[in-house]
């Protein structure tokens, strides 16, 4: 049966110039169970009111109440009905945004409502600039370089954002400084595979706080040593990050400590300064490849792009052995995996973060997964072509670009080298493995050449009816 679906928005923003959008679509049944009101990240209150006027006509009012209206804020409505989608969109405060694209519609009306209330408000330009000013007092901006050999290899213009040159060798330091500056607690606890823990430790020192860090067993020993050198109390628990994360949560509740998550808006605001630096230096980028760990880095790049009103594509990169975000993106919902068995520990995630996934589904063009071999080759290419030491999670972006080389040919592309904290033994193994592949290739060429020469001389001897042992001629000497 045909039903009329009316979407109305009421704003308290004086600069509002949007129009109500009315869509007519196939509606299976009126929603019966919807939340009344929830708090979004502690900063934004939204109320959804639903009125069913009759069994035939369903009118739905989306009434959004903000304590403060922020500029450049986008509100998106996605409703999927009977396999078809109707989309209403509104922009306030004179935003000059690009055309809206719905990459992944929700699987149901209830999923839409849940996502809407859970959605984290992206940092504004003013917030990012304020955070960048704070971070700039404790670290220098990291460079972005265009390496000629990498450009040749990728057959396009490639800019590398070198977060491996930060004080802890990772982009995470930005989020740590931002987060620690906003909390009053004197003792914090967190879980990490390394870089997040180093950022917490670094920032805790800056602001005079104590830090406890939980890492999984068999974690990177160099990262463990770096965290201990920064003065943290480090403990090992669990087989992977997710188990260490759950244990850290239990310890926080038990000991009354402040838990520092790996994904939080306060972290995203800080990391967004990285995106601002990149877009300011290279404003005409067609695309940027960003690793996806738990999601703070890619959401920060999105926030910077949105704040500046750019059209740059944001493309995620994950390890094929840790495909949680790849599968979640393709299915439009949270998909957990049984394992995340990749040496690129910064992207070794089994359970996607719900808030991060909502932003990724909304604003990321696609997610590319790369194999362990592709990541190893990318690490080797960084060393050969740019003389840079890049860890696995930082190399997934170059691996993804190389996988899509033909698709990105001739474009202006950036890749985020998110960190350089790789164990020396692992790095040595990767170099030797790639060197051995080169040796085997040369060996195969030489072997094929020797057999070819031998065949020529054997045939020559037979044609002259010379009875002797087949031989080859090598540098004027017959063997």
Convert the pLDDT of each residue in 82-129 to its tens digit. Answer: 222 223 322 222 233 333 333 444 444 444 444 444 457 899 999 999
* Pure H helices in 43-108: none
What pLDDT was estimated at residue 31?
32
Q: How far apart are CA 306 and CA 72, in angstroms?
A: 8
Given a contact cutoff of 8 angstroms between Cβ atoms, the answer to whether 289 and 366 are in contact is no
Percent of the chain with pLDDT over 70: 66
Q: How far apart are CA 295 and CA 268, in angstroms?
A: 9
Beta bridge partners of 52: 58
Reported as type and span, the H/E element at residue 25 is: strand 21-26
Q: How far apart are CA 447 and CA 450, in angstroms?
A: 5
* pTM listed for this prediction: 0.70
What is the average pLDDT score of the chain? 75
Say which residue, 24 or 426, is predicted with more confidence. 426
What are the strands, taking DSSP E only, across 304-375? 313-319, 366-370
On the question of pLDDT at 297 being above 90, the answer is yes
What pLDDT was estimated at residue 90?
27
Q: How far apart are CA 408 and CA 144, in angstroms?
A: 19
Of the candidates 340, 317, 297, 288, the one whose C-alpha atom is nearest the C-alpha of residue 403 is 317
Tell me the CA distances in angstroms from 466 to 108, 261, 460, one per residue in order.
Answer: 84, 81, 9
CATH of 172-259, one of 3.40.50.1100, 3.40.50.1370, 3.40.50.300, 3.40.50.1820: 3.40.50.1100
Residue keyed to tokens 């840079």: 388
On the question of pLDDT at 286 being above 60, the answer is yes
pLDDT tens-digit profile of 197-238? Answer: 999 999 999 999 999 999 999 888 888 888 999 999 999 999
Q: Averaged over 41-59, what is the pLDDT?
A: 29
Of 38-52, 130-144, 179-193, give the lowest mean pLDDT range.
38-52
What pLDDT was estimated at residue 260?
95
Which residues are within 8 A (CB) of 368 and not within 5 positions of it... i.e. 6 or more apart? 289, 315, 316, 317, 318, 326, 400, 403, 404
On the question of pLDDT at 13 being above 50, the answer is no
What pLDDT was estimated at residue 352?
93
On the question of pLDDT at 262 being above 60, the answer is yes
pLDDT tens-digit profile of 336-395? Answer: 998 888 999 889 889 999 999 999 999 999 999 999 999 999 999 999 999 999 999 999
Q: How far apart are CA 294 and CA 357, in angstroms?
A: 9
Q: How far apart are CA 11 and CA 274, in angstroms?
A: 32
Q: Averaged over 16-32, what is the pLDDT?
A: 29
What pLDDT was estimated at residue 77?
34
Of 95-99, 450-454, 469-473, give the lowest mean pLDDT range.
95-99
On the question of pLDDT at 71 being above 60, the answer is no
CATH 3.30.230.70 fits 127-132+139-167+265-426, yes or no: no
Tell me the CA distances in angstroms from 84 to 34, 107, 174, 231, 359, one per residue in order.
Answer: 21, 11, 42, 56, 22
Two structure tokens written together for 69: 């209206």
Highest mean pLDDT among 74-83, 270-279, 420-429, 439-448: 270-279
């Amino acid at each position: 049966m045909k039903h009329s679906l009316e979407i109305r928005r009421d704003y308290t923003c004086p600069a509002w110039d949007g129009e109500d959008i009315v869509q007519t679509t196939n509606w299976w049944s009126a929603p019966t169970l919807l939340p009344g009101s929830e708090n979004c990240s502690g900063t934004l209150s939204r109320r959804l009111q639903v009125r069913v006027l009759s069994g035939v006509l369903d009118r739905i009012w989306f009434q959004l109440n903000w304590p403060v209206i922020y500029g450049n804020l986008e509100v998106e409505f996605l409703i999927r009905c009977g396999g078809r989608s109707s989309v209403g969109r509104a922009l306030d405060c004179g935003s000059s945004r690009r055309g809206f694209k719905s990459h992944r519609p929700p699987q149901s009306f209830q999923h839409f409502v849940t996502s809407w209330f859970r959605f984290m408000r992206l940092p504004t330009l003013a917030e990012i600039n304020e955070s960048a000013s704070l971070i700039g007092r404790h670290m220098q901006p990291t460079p972005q370089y265009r390496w000629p050999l990498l450009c040749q290899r990728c057959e396009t213009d490639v800019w590398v954002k070198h977060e491996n040159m930060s004080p802890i060798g990772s982009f995470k330091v930005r989020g740590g400084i931002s987060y620690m500056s906003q909390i009053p607690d004197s003792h914090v606890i967190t879980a990490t595979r390394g870089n997040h823990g180093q950022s917490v430790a670094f920032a805790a020192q800056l602001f005079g706080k104590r830090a406890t860090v939980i890492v999984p067993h068999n974690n990177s020993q160099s990262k463990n040593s770096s965290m201990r050198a920064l003065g943290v109390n480090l403990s090992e628990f669990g087989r992977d990050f997710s188990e260490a994360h759950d244990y850290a949560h239990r310890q926080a509740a038990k000991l009354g400590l402040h838990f520092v998550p790996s994904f939080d808006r306060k972290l995203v605001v800080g990391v967004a300064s990285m995106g601002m630096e990149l877009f300011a230096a290279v404003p005409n980028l067609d695309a940027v490849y960003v690793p996806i760990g738990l999601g703070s880095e890619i959401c920060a790049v999105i926030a910077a792009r949105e704040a500046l009103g750019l059209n740059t594509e944001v493309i995620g990169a994950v390890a094929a052995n840790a495909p949680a975000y790849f599968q979640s993106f393709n299915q439009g919902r949270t998909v957990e995996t049984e394992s995340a068995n990749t040496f690129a520990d910064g992207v070794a995630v089994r359970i996607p973060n719900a808030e991060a996934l909502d932003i990724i589904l909304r604003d990321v063009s696609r997610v590319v997964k790369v194999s362990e071999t592709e990541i190893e080759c990318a690490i080797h290419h960084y060393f050969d072509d740019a003389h840079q030491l890049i860890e696995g999670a930082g190399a997934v972006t170059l691996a993804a670009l190389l996988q899509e080389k033909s698709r990105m040919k001739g474009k202006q592309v950036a890749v985020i080298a998110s960190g350089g904290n790789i164990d020396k033994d692992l790095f040595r193994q990767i170099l030797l493995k790639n060197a051995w592949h080169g040796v085997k290739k040369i060996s195969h060429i030489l072997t094929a050449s020797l057999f070819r020469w031998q065949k020529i001389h054997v045939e020559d001897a037979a044609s002259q009816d010379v009875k002797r042992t087949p031989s080859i001629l090598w540098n004027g000497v017959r063997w």
